[in-house]
């Protein structure tokens, strides 16, 4: 029996792609991506007052598909429109709050900390993502020749500046100072992993500030990221990325969050971190390291089991 075909609609950001692809994998779909491009005027208009019409977006999508998985504001109207004009049954699923009537979608997957409810709403604990336990396990040896194998590993995963968090030199130096002290005090080897949003200047600063017994990956490298998760005894993630914190939670290992200075109210991020703290997944980074365990958080597969594609 052939697989159902999935159309994945996002704004092209890594975090969104990870969420839609993670769910598509869990649903065992054969899928393809489409980066949504809105026409100029409609980029500024909220979906709630945007007409469900083709002139809203530029994409011409003529591939065959059975399921639409969308994520992000720009993908809301295209998902509704493509389902509306289809000559066959289409199931559309939106990840995050679409901020339009829930009736426009078969399913809405929203983080629990968003507080959204409804008959077709499935709450997720944190962000869905495309990493799997098997991928992490199979990538363990990728960094073996770059690390000190005689020491336990602390993996530091760096995000980047957002409208909520400041990545000033002083902020970064404060985080690096804590990391340096912890690795020295606990006799650990440090692995630093950048993400798509990590500024070059931050990586350069890591190379100058964290020179003792450290492996610093300078470019985005998914295999290095997976390997660093696999070999870590402790994982530290900067507070700006709910996605990477959720990915770290797939390991079942202690996850620490390194706080950055805020630029505006980060209430949703605080609620997310509070949820993970209550689940015994997350603790704030301070001057000591502890080990603890929790059930590995595999939300993509849990959510997929609640979705009926028939």
Instruction: Give the residues across from 72 on adjacent strands.
Output: none
Distance CA 57, CA 36 (A): 7
What is the pLDDT, as a whole number, of residue 310?
A: 86
- For residue 120, give the DSSP letter: T
107-141 pLDDT per residue, tens: 999 988 888 999 999 999 989 999 999 999 999 99
Give the C-alpha separation, 268 to 274, whole Å: 10
Q: What is the per-residue pLDDT across 128-178, written as a single tens digit (0 to 9) for each?
A: 999 999 999 999 999 999 999 999 999 999 999 999 999 999 999 999 999
User: Residue 181 contacts by C-beta under 8 Å, 6 or more apart in sequence?
Assistant: 287
* Alpha carbon distance 22, 155 (integer Å): 23
3-state SS of 43-58?
HHCCHHHCCCCHHHEC
Reported as a single tens digit per residue, the pLDDT across 42-87 is 999 999 999 999 999 999 998 899 999 999 999 999 999 999 999 9
The region, left, alpha or beta by phi > 0 then psi within -120 to 50, assigned to residue 157 is beta
* pTM for the full predicted model: 0.90
Alpha carbons 168 and 159: distance in angstroms, whole number: 13
End-to-end CA distance of the chain: 14
Distances (CA, A) of 143 to 200, 231, 252: 21, 9, 20
pLDDT value of position 47: 97
Residue spans of beta strands (DSSP E) within 11-152: 30-35, 67-71, 91-95, 107-111, 121-124
Sheet architecture: strand order including 282-284: 214-216, 189-193, 153-157, 232-238, 255-258, 282-284
Backbone angles phi, psi at 211, to 5 degrees: -90, -20
Structural domains for the chain: 5-124 (3.40.50), 133-284 (3.40.50.2000)
pLDDT digits (tens, 9 = 90+) for 221-267: 999 999 999 999 999 999 999 999 999 999 999 999 999 999 999 99
**pLDDT value, residue 55:** 97
Rounded CA Rg of the chain? 20
Average pLDDT over residues 80-105: 96
Over residues 288-304, the mean pLDDT reads: 96
Residue % of the chain over a pLDDT of 90: 93
Report pLDDT for 1. 66
Cβ-in-10-Å burial (0-12, 13-18, 19+) of 91 comes to buried
Average pLDDT, the chain: 95
Asked if 205 and 173 count as a contact pair (C-beta separation under 8 A), the reply is yes
- CA distances to 12, 33, 73 from 37, rounded to whole Å, are 9, 13, 11
Q: Where are the beta strands (DSSP E) in 2-149?
A: 5-10, 30-35, 67-71, 91-95, 107-111, 121-124
Please, are residues 236 and 137 in contact by the beta-carbon 8 Å criterion?
no
Average pLDDT over residues 200-217: 93
Q: What residues have CB less than 8 Å from 65, skipping those under 6 apart?
A: 5, 6, 7, 32, 90
Percent of the chain with pLDDT over 70: 100
């Amino acid at each position: 029996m052939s697989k159902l075909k999935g159309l994945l609609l996002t704004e092209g950001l890594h975090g969104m792609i990870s969420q839609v692809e993670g769910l598509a994998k869990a649903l065992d779909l054969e899928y393809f991506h489409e980066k949504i491009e809105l026409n100029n005027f409609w980029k500024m208009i909220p979906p709630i007052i945007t007409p469900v019409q083709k002139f809203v977006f530029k994409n011409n999508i003529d591939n065959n598909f059975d399921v639409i998985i969308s994520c992000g504001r720009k993908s809301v109207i295209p998902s509704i429109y493509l389902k509306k004009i289809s000559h066959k049954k289409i199931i559309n699923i939106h990840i995050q709050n679409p901020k339009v009537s829930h009736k426009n979608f078969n399913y809405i997957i929203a983080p629990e900390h968003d507080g959204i409810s409804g008959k077709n709403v499935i709450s997720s604990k944190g962000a869905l993502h495309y990493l799997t336990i098997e991928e992490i396990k199979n990538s363990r040896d990728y960094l073996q020749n770059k690390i000190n194998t005689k020491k336990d590993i602390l993996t530091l995963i760096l995000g980047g500046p957002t409208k909520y968090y400041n990545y000033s030199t002083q902020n970064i130096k404060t985080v690096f100072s804590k990391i340096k002290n912890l690795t020295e005090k606990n006799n650990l080897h440090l692995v630093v992993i950048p993400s798509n949003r990590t500024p070059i200047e931050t990586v350069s600063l890591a190379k100058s500030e964290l020179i003792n017994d450290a492996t610093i990956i300078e470019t985005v490298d998914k295999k290095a990221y997976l390997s660093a998760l696999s070999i870590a005894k402790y994982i530290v993630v900067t507070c700006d990325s709910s996605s990477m914190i959720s990915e770290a939670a797939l390991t079942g290992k202690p996850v620490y969050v390194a706080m950055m200075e805020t630029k505006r109210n980060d209430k949703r991020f605080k609620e997310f971190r509070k949820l993970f703290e209550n689940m015994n997944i997350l603790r704030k980074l301070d001057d000591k390291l502890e080990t603890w365990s929790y059930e590995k958080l595999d939300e993509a597969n849990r959510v997929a089991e609640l979705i009926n594609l028939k």
